[in-house]
Amino acid sequence: MLDVQCLSKVYKTGKRALNGIDMIIDRPQVVAIIGSSGAGKSTFIRCINRLVEPTSGRILLNGKDIVALDRKDLRSARRRIGMIFQEYNLVERLTVMQNVLSGRLGYVSLFASLRYRFPAEDIRAAFELLDRVGLAGYQDRRADALSGGQRQRVGIARALMQRPDLLLLDEPTASLDPKTSRQIMRLVGELVAERKTPAIINIHDVALAKSHADRIVGLSEGALVFDDTPDQLTDAALARIYGDEDWTLTSNNEAAGA
């Protein structure tokens, strides 16, 4: 499905954000990307759909190299990559339904998109998704009248309206309280299983990653230093990712809360 080969990013300042990342996702799963601030997590996520331009390397999605695409073909490829943002990225003055249907804008004419006229099939799919993410009956609410957790659910529904081959989530729980964060992560895991669509999640909360991800990838100074299942994320692995620290308390707290 996704094959990232020797992906590097060097910014104009000379900062090397990514240093030869190799990663393959060949089945539906939730992949959590963890690491310190500045480790390259957001850069990695955004390079995959070229919101950030890679300096070198290849990103193969279903055999097509995203890095090599021209502007027109990139627009087409992005339809198959659903992006969910920390700041929700909704149009505040529009309704929930209009925001969800925005996931289909690349599939209708300019005339139809300006008037938010979509095929009946798309409207039915939007209602079904709103029900699935727990927002049945919210279709006519304005986005700016929603809570943070509700906005994130709208963002998830909008991304799924694209019928993507891959979901990218950039710190989707950073602005949410702990309970809502767990609910959102649980929802993402359920949707990945139901729709057979892999998801890559950039996340700071290690405990949340361990409890909801199928696979954890750790970055340190732009390099991949860990790639395994959550149960293999030992104190020694955490030290490789985040640096020397006493991780015993974190491990004990997780065990107590299990």
CATH of the domain at 56: 3.40.50.300
128 is a domain residue: no
Render pLDDT for 49-105 as a digit per residue (tens, 0 to 9).
999 999 999 999 999 999 999 988 998 899 899 999 888 889 999 999 999 998 988
Please calculate the CA angle 131-134-136 and round it to the nearest 5 degrees. 45
Domain range enclosing 72 = 1-80+196-258
How many Å apart are CA 96 and CA 227, to the nearest integer? Answer: 37
**Secondary structure (3-state) at 198:** coil
CA distance 156 to 258: 27
How many domains are contained in the chain? Answer: 1
Q: Is residue 11 part of a domain?
A: yes
40 in any annotated domain: yes
> pTM here?
0.90
Output the 3-class SS for 57-101.
EEEEECCEEHHHCCHHHHHHHHCCEEEEECCCCCCCCCEHHHHHH
Residue 86 located in a structural domain: no
Is 96 within a domain? no
Residue 235 lies in a domain: yes
In a domain, 170, yes or no: no
Tens digits of per-residue pLDDT, 123-164? 999 999 999 999 999 999 999 999 999 999 999 999 999 999
User: Contact 204/174 with Cβ under 8 angstroms?
Assistant: yes
The answer to the question of residue 26 being in a domain is yes
